[in-house]
A and B are shown apart, each in its own frame.
Chain A
Amino acid sequence: MEQQAIVIEGKDLSIGYRKGKVTKYVHRHLNFVLRRGELTCLLGANGTGKSTLLRTLAAAQSALGGELNLLGRKIGAYTERERSRTIGVVLTDKTQAGGLTVYELVALGRQPHTGFFGRLRQTDKDIIRHALQAVGITDKASQYTAELSDGERQKVMIAKALVQECPLILLDEPTAFLDVVSRIEIMTLLHRLAEEEQKAILLSTHDIEQALVLADRLWLLTPENGMECGVTEDLILNNRMDTLFARQNSRIRFDLTHGVFSPTVGGKKSIRLNAANEVLEHWTQNALNRRNYFCLPDETAYASLPLLTVVSPQRIKLTVEGQTIVFRSFDQLLQTL
């Protein structure tokens, strides 16, 4: 089954830098696989070695130990040209390609396949057209890349990686510097491409929200636990997300219900909360947490605590020692608390 074909496989891999006689290991004993048709997101705090790992996978730096197999063959056994047809990368590097049209830039991705002078044959042109279509920038093909927005430029670079016709595409923070709309667009695009074009796509990102929604698998990279790989839901429901930033700041917790990281609640004061629906409950908690209130359910065990009843955003009732005050907005409520 091609679906399951493993594109790259790391066994007991050590990554890091070698400078003169000094060897600095960033990670040891990493084990992982990337399969065709799957979008994998590499998550980790800054400085945990995401870029080092991506560079090692792209063969831009050599591994310090262990095995790294690309399509069942050792990565070191590939020639430069073979490698450039197997691994496509999208980086955050600044380019000076503003004077190239979108078409010309995407065409550069054909270089591993073209002859000495890079002349494009009809098949090359068809592949470029297809890639432009796949990322949705066909109408901008004759524009200068300098005229594009950041999001569009990222799509062009993805199209460039597509025309390389590599089974593996690596992206280093492709959604950094993009606004929310572009971020969602790029991630959705990558997810679709992984499936439609049967690529193994690995990207590093800080955009955890999108990663949780669209990634088929997550790779969590931490200094303590090395790398943990798994399907998003398995990792979340086994509480693995909390390990991600544990070292940097232990007060940051992963909210299992909402799939976001948030600071732990101080909870100096407590209050009973009774909200009409889940949405009201969530946002009331959000407001109260900000004011160091710890919310407890409206149960008899906590009967001594003040009770907040939220009927609607315009009708918030606070009952303290038998007395009830009604607020018309969260603004009023928070001013009193």
Chain B
Amino acid sequence: MNNKGYIYGGVLCGIILMLMAANLLLGAVDIPASAVADILCGRGTEKETWSFIVWESRFPQCITALLCGAALSASGLMLQTVFNNPLADSSILGISSGASLGVALVMLAGGGTIATGAFTLSGFVSVILGAFLGAACILGIILFLSTVIKNSVMLLIAGIMIGYVSSSLISLLNFFATAEGVHSYTIWGLGNFGGVSLEQLPAFSAMVVAGLIVAVLLIKPLNALLLGTRYAENLGVNIRRVRNLLLIATGLLTAVTTSFCGPVSFIGLAVPHIARLMLGTSNHNSLLPVTLLTGSAVALLCNLVCILPGEAGIIPLNAVTPILGAPVIIYVIVNQRKIQYFN
């Protein structure tokens, strides 16, 4: 990691702390800052409801946003490098719809409706497993297609098609589901960092952190892959093993975030670009850590925007992320000749 990486890392950590504070302090109910501090430090407070709100809603939501942002951005970055494609990410390549399909199948097979937040522990494990299998399946198909389809735009289109297929399968499942299930599925589809309860938080965090650790371990081969697979192979990279690890890491990160927070769009696509533009490098030594931090910051910011209306309600997450993400992508496309990292 170079100096620029450390500077941006430090600044981002500061921003993240501020955003976390804002996320904890702001919400539908006005709670004085001193009371929030008291509650978080384990001291008593005047109102039990405040304690409940902070511990059961704001704190898990804040941590979820922090981890989700890092997870989505990390998988976006890995996919962009491996597919040698600036527009790759888990939602565009259909991986998150694969995860959604997995979730939907498990919910229906379990006889229940498609809903999150309310499942039991065994249900919770099977939902994650379903999401992971769905995501890994689609990722496997895409990896296979990438050996057949050499044109990267065509591969993206293939990914979008696969996404459509899984979406329509989900719609078919919805057709057989109860009205209540369809409703909660729709709500889930809007995206929400509030889907993880305090009890689920440790498991959620452990899985995301595991995925992120694999991503960090892949820094060296990811750098070699910038030169293309044949060069990477010559540098001693075991392509098959790296691809498998990548399949597991992105599959896990996408599955966990998708099953809890819904298919969150654009963070995975845009954040790696923001990080590259800031750092001016595609060297993963600094790019990956800065991407993780930027992802966390962006997700916390999005969450903050979502809860801004206060008492009026919560803005759906997927209404906010494209507003932040799409302009970045358009900027990258327009300035593709000037921006050097994919030349």
Contacts and interface: CB of A to CB of B under 8 A. Distances in A.
A96 interface: yes
A80 to B, nearest CB: 5
Interface residues of B, number: 28
A88 interface: yes
Contacts of B237: 80, 111
B105 interface: no
B236 to A, nearest CB: 3
Interface in B193-230: 217, 219-220, 223-224, 226-228, 230
A99 B280 contact: yes
B214 to A, nearest CB: 13
Contacts, number: 95
A112 B233 CA distance: 11
B84 interface: yes
A99 B220 contact: no
Given A93-B231, A99-B280, A147 B238 contact: no
Contacts of B57: none
A98 B343 contact: yes
Interface in B17-51: none
Contacts of A109: 235
Interface in A43-100: 58, 60, 80-81, 83-85, 87-89, 91, 93-100
Q: Please tell me the size bucket of the interface on A.
A: 35 or more
A95 B234 contact: no
B244 to A, nearest CB: 15
A105 B340 CA distance: 14
A146 interface: yes
B219 A118 contact: yes
Contacts of A164: 235
Interface in A220-244: none
Contacts of A96: 81, 84, 226, 228, 282, 341-343
B281 interface: yes
B59 to A, nearest CB: 33
A81 B236 contact: yes
B236 A112 contact: yes
A240 B236 CA distance: 38
Given A99-B276, A118-B223, A118-B285, A91 B230 contact: yes
A104 B283 CA distance: 8
B341 A98 contact: yes
A99 B224 contact: no
B230 A60 contact: yes
Given A84-B234, A95-B226, A104-B283, A146 B220 contact: no
Which 5 residue pairs across A and B have the least CB separation, nearest first?
Answer: A99-B341, A98-B343, A84-B236, A146-B340, A99-B282
17 contacts: A58-B234, A60-B230, A84-B235, A91-B231, A93-B228, A95-B228, A99-B276, A100-B281, A105-B227, A111-B236, A117-B220, A117-B285, A118-B219, A118-B285, A144-B340, A145-B340, A145-B343
